[in-house]
Amino acid sequence: MFKLLRQSFMLLLVLTVITGVLYPLAATGLSQLVFPQQANGSLIERDGKPIGSALIGQSFTDPKYFWGRPSASTPNPYNATASSGSNQGPTNSALADAVKQRIAALRAVDPGNTAPVPVDLVTASGSGLDPEISQAAAQYQLERVAMARGLSSAQVQALVNEYTSGRQLGILGEPRVNVLRLNLALDAPPTHGS
């Protein structure tokens, strides 16, 4: 009996070291070597300080910024520790009311815009943390942002184009715009010749 307990304990110890220490160290080391930016959270820095991640949305409400998808995380929007969808289906009256309120907010800040509101500006993603919007959502907001910043539509469009990522592997998904990167570019001082 003692021999069996000893063998079981040794096996537990060996497997704990392999799966709890060696494997995580090897996986972390390899990811740091091959994908260091992604392994460290895809952090975006300004002046050497992290201000966000390219993978987690942030709340923007000022008209001079592009707005991202609504967040369903609680208790604060874009709370990465509470990632979740709203779990409200299309027939849920609470979702319908929330969508109506979001459309009203978009119309209030840009009353001259009569274009249809893109769905990703009024519905949360499954994670509630989506950092990107569709090209249609960026186009819907372009004139508002340009006017609020005193820029031409062409200047803002150039930045939208620059921060638009194409389909993954050329076929998966839709082109999308990273809201934080785009808003940081809008805040950057103009370069000579712009």
Closest-CA residue to 132 (of 76, 185, 72, 174) = 174
Domain ranges of the chain: 1-40, 44-187
pLDDT, position 39: 79
pLDDT, position 190: 63
Closest-CA residue to 141 (of 123, 117, 108) = 117
| 36-90 pLDDT, tens digit each | 877 777 888 888 888 888 888 888 989 999 999 988 777 777 877 777 777 777 8
What integer best gives the mean pLDDT of the chain?
87
pLDDT > 90 fraction of the chain, expressed in percent and rounded: 48
What pLDDT band is residue 191 in, cutting at 50, 70 and 90?
low
Tokens 């779990």 appear where?
Answer: 87
Whole-prediction pTM value? Answer: 0.77
**Contacts (Cβ under 8 Å, ≥6 apart) of 128:** 71, 72, 73, 77, 78, 79, 82, 83, 84, 85, 86
